[in-house]
Amino acid sequence: MMLEKGSRLVMAGDSVTDCNRNYTLPPCFWSTWGDGYVHVVYSSLLAFAPDRNIMVINQGVSGNTSEDLKVRWDKDIMTLNPDYVSVMIGINDVWRHFDSVVRQEKLIDRNQFHANLREIMNRTVPSVKKVFLMTPVMFEINKNEPMFVMLREYDAVIRKVAEEFDQPFIDCQSRVDAVLKYQHPYMFTTDRVHPNLPGHMILAKCFLDAVGLE
């Protein structure tokens, strides 16, 4: 497995990562992993690689865009001295184009999204062993649905940045699409974006496969 004994893994993102984590306790105290894929990753590493003693820290913040994550990156991520970092961000960058237009909020286009990711990577890659870039997901059957189409365009930006910095790219959306050939999205989510436990299991499996947990 890629994660060495005593490694420190910080998992960053938005509400899908946050997933009701406890902000009041120090990292790795009970309930700080939240109820989602981060907790599944931690539990799997503890159960199936017990000799590694891998520290998993959830640093997702609900509502974050790539801009928000960039602003808090040094304080919330790099001060934790991670060996490995995972990033799942972008669903809010896309979603705001569809649910916040009348609020006249600042909308993050693909160029700005690209710039935000590059800045995060520039701050991080020299100081850690690997940065895992995970695609955000939608549980959507209609591949022509406008928000889904835009999300895949932003996923292409994530892939491009991963290639540019020679870091692992994890296409979670493709794994979700494969599952939806057999099950309806409502088996995994009520709003197409925030997964239930089976949905989070898919995301966790994507990450665990990438690090080579058997």
The answer on pLDDT for 106 being more than 90 is no
- Which one of the listed residues 7, 15, 66, 86 is annotated catalytic? 15
- Which one of the listed residues 39, 114, 194, 200 is annotated catalytic? 194
184 counts as catalytic: no
Query: Region 122-140: what's the mean pLDDT?
Result: 98
- Residue linked to tokens 């974050």: 64
- Which one of the listed residues 51, 166, 184, 191 is annotated catalytic? 191
Quote the mean pLDDT of the chain. Answer: 97
pTM: 0.96
pLDDT of residue 102: 79
15 counts as catalytic: yes
At position 16, the amino acid (one-letter code) is V
**Are the CB atoms for 189 and 139 separated by under 8 Å?**
yes
The answer on pLDDT for 103 being more than 80 is no
Burial-class residue 51 by CB neighbours within 10 Å (0-12, 13-18, 19+).
exposed
Predicted confidence (pLDDT) per residue in 21-45, tens digit: 999 999 999 999 999 999 999 999 9
191 counts as catalytic: yes
Coil, helix or strand at residue 8 = strand
The answer on pLDDT for 127 being more than 90 is yes
